[in-house]
Amino acid sequence: MKRRSIVALCLVAVLAAAVTTATTLGATKKATASSITVWLQTDAQSGWPDLVASTNQQFQSDHPGTTVNIQYQNWGDHLQKFDATLAGGGGPDVIEMGNTEMTKYMAAGAFAPLDKTTFDNSASWLKGLAASGAFGGKTYGVPYYAGSRVVTYRTDLFKKAGITKLPATTAQFVADDQKLFAKNPKKGFSATYTAGTDWYFAMSFVFDYGGGIATQVSGKWKGLLSSPKSLAGLAAYKAFFLATSRASKTTDETHPNPYDVYAQGLAASMIGPSWFSCCVGKAYTADTAQFVMPGHVKGQSIPGFLGGSDLAVPVTSSSKALATDWIKDFTSTSSEKVLQAKGNIPNATNLLGSSVNERAAARSWFVPTAKHWVDVENGNILRNMLAQILTNKLTIKQAASSASDNIASVLNQP
């Protein structure tokens, strides 16, 4: 009898301990009406925390008694997290979305429509960004900031190779790169480092030659990569890559980071966002500058991918009006100027300055605004195509037409 009661006692004790820890640890505060939760990417935490703080201050002085809870997210898994909160609740009132992520969620009705006219500079929002936040004639996403792609280069190496004038066409750039190779016979050295499957860069050639990825014809998506113009662009990309880069033909633009290659002195130039200048290595900081990549026609830059972020209000939010007001503060003219000072492209054309980054944005391209575009990206259809082309596994035409058909079938899913 005694033994049993001891066992029973132990059991009760353990269960009680479990319950008490559960209740004491689980002091979940119920969200009051006067509090909003904002999901921003960590870029804001490391890049412009002061802007976030001052926006919150501004917002709280306009809405006394309201608290703002900023929760930082990662690009890698914020959508899984968001999906979970859409199903179970407890999600944010404001969410930062990548501009290529928006369409799928807008199509599913995940966001509340916003009145575009109440936001600063909404009449002159950057076209690419504004398009990513609009669906079916309504606005769901407010442009936050953008970034374009530029050439970061070593002024000292260019001078040593006798390049006195920056290239005005892609062909000139390739010719200059040959001079750079001649002066730098180091193993593994790239005159222009680009990763083989960097599809953002490769598609720039496609758009430069007048091609495209996909287009909508009477409600149906049609692949464009196998069109003659796109094929010309892909051929130009292949020629450019083989002539200038010693990177792996199958790697992407973050493995390794181009600036790490550059920082080792293994590249005379590299293609990427303008913030790449942050990390070029102490030895080369003084000899680093940037220019806008030229296109194949003289006087025209190559169209760059316009990456960026939008801010949206999920339908599950219980304080949509407050959330909208916070977005207004965070994307006001003065806020955008702070973002600009941090090296970003502000969200409206009337705010654009003349930095390399902003000049490069003048000619830009964007992914098809289709509900299933994300599946094309996640399925790595374009990256696989590029790897096949560069490694000669398939001819350009074979690889492009199979990718094109593939893209069309993904985009046309119900």
Partner 1 sequence: MNARRRGRRARQAGWNVLGLAIFVVMVFPVFWMISTAFKSNEQIVSLNPTWFPLHPTIQHFRDAIHRPYFWVDVKNSLIIVSVTVAISIVLAFLAAVALARYRFGGRKLFIVLVIGIQMLPQAGLIIPLYVVLARYHETNALSGVVITYMTFVLPFSVWTLRGFLIGIPKELEEAAMVDGSTRLGVFMKILLPLMGPGLVATSVFAFITTWNEYIFARILLNDQSKQTVTVWLSYFVGSSRHTDWGALMAASSLTAIPVVIFFLLVQRRIAFGLTAGAVRG
Partner 2 sequence: MAPAAETMLDRSRRRRRFWGRTLRSAVPYGLILPIVVVIGVILGYPLYWLVKLSTERYGLFELIRHAGVSVGLANYRSVLHDQVFWHTLLRTVVFTTANVTLTMVIGMLLALLLARVGTVVRILLSSGLVLVWSMPVVVAVQIWYWMTNYENGVVNYILTKLGIGNFFEHDWYATTFSQLSLVTLLIVWGALPFVVITLYAGLAQVPHDLIEAAEVDGARSWRVFRDITLPILRPILLILTSLSIIWDFGVFTQPYLLIGQSKISTGNYLMSIYLFEEGYFKSDYGRGAAISLLMLLMVAVLSVVYVRKMVRIGEAQ
Separation between Cα atoms, residue 212 and residue 365, nearest integer Å = 9
69 binds, among partner 2, partner 1, none (CB under 5 to 8 A by kind): partner 1
Check binding of 280 to partner 2 (CB under 8 A).
Answer: no
Residue with token string 């301990």: 17
Q: Which does 343 bind (CB under 5 to 8 A by kind): partner 2, partner 1, none?
A: none
Cα-based torsion angle of the residue sequence 148, 149, 153, 159 in order, rounded to the nearest 10 degrees: -90
With respect to partner 1, which residue has the nearer C-beta, 165 or 187?
187
Binding mask 308-337 for partner 2 (x = CB under 8 A): -------xx---------------------
Residue-by-residue DSSP string for 188-254? T-BSSB--TT-HHHHHHHHHHTT--SEEEETTEEEE-TTSHHHHHHHHHHHHHHHHH--S-TT--TT
Q: Which residues contact 233 (CB under 8 A, 6 or more apart)?
A: 203, 205, 206, 207, 208, 209, 210, 211
The binder of partner 1 chosen from 9, 11, 175, 321 (CB under 8 A): 11
Q: Which residue lies nearer to partner 2 by CB, 166 or 263? A: 263
- Binds 74: which of partner 2, partner 1, none (CB < 5-8 Å by kind): partner 1
16 is a contact residue toward partner 1 (CB under 8 A) = no
**Residue count at the site for partner 1 (CB under 8 A)?**
54
Alpha-carbon span 347 to 338, nearest angstrom: 12
Three-class secondary structure of residue 284 per DSSP: helix
- Can you tell me which of 12, 16, 32, 42 binds partner 1, judged by CB under 8 A? 42
Residue 90 contact among partner 1, partner 2, none, beta carbon within 5 to 8 Å by kind = partner 1
Q: Which does 22 bind (CB under 5 to 8 A by kind): partner 2, partner 1, none?
A: partner 1
x-marked contacts with partner 1 along 259-298 as a string, rule CB under 8 A: xx--xx-x--------x--xx-xxx---------------
The whole-angstrom separation of Cα 343 and Cα 146 is 10
Of the candidate residues 25, 27, 87, 286, the single one contacting partner 2 (CB under 8 A): 87
* Contacted by 197, from partner 1, partner 2, none: CB < 5 to 8 Å by type: partner 2
d(CA 168, CA 300): 8
State the number of CA atoms in the 13 A half-sphere of 337 facing the CB. 5
Strand partners, 150: 272
* Cis ω before 256 (30° cut-off from 0): yes
Judged by CB under 8 A, the residue of 9, 11, 297, 341 near partner 2 is 11
What lies within 8 Å, CB to CB, of 328 at 6+ separation is 118, 119, 120
φ and ψ at 237, to 5 degrees? -65, -45
Smallest gap from Cβ 324 to partner 1, in A, equals: 21
Enumerate the β-bridge partners of residue 305. 365
What is the footprint of partner 1 within residues 73-92 (CB under 8 A)? 73-77, 80-81, 83-85, 87-90
Binding residue (CB under 8 A) for partner 2 from 6, 8, 283, 341: 8
Sheet with 288-291, edge to edge strand ranges:
269-273, 149-154, 288-291
Contacting residues toward partner 1, per CB under 8 A? 2-3, 6, 10-11, 14, 17-18, 21-28, 30, 37, 41-43, 45-47, 69, 71-77, 80-81, 83-85, 87-90, 188, 257, 259-260, 263-264, 266, 275, 278-279, 281-283
Contacting residues toward partner 2, per CB under 8 A? 4, 7-8, 11, 14-15, 18, 79-80, 83, 86-87, 104-105, 107-110, 187-188, 197, 246-248, 250-252, 254-256, 261, 264, 266, 315-316, 374-375, 378-380, 383-384
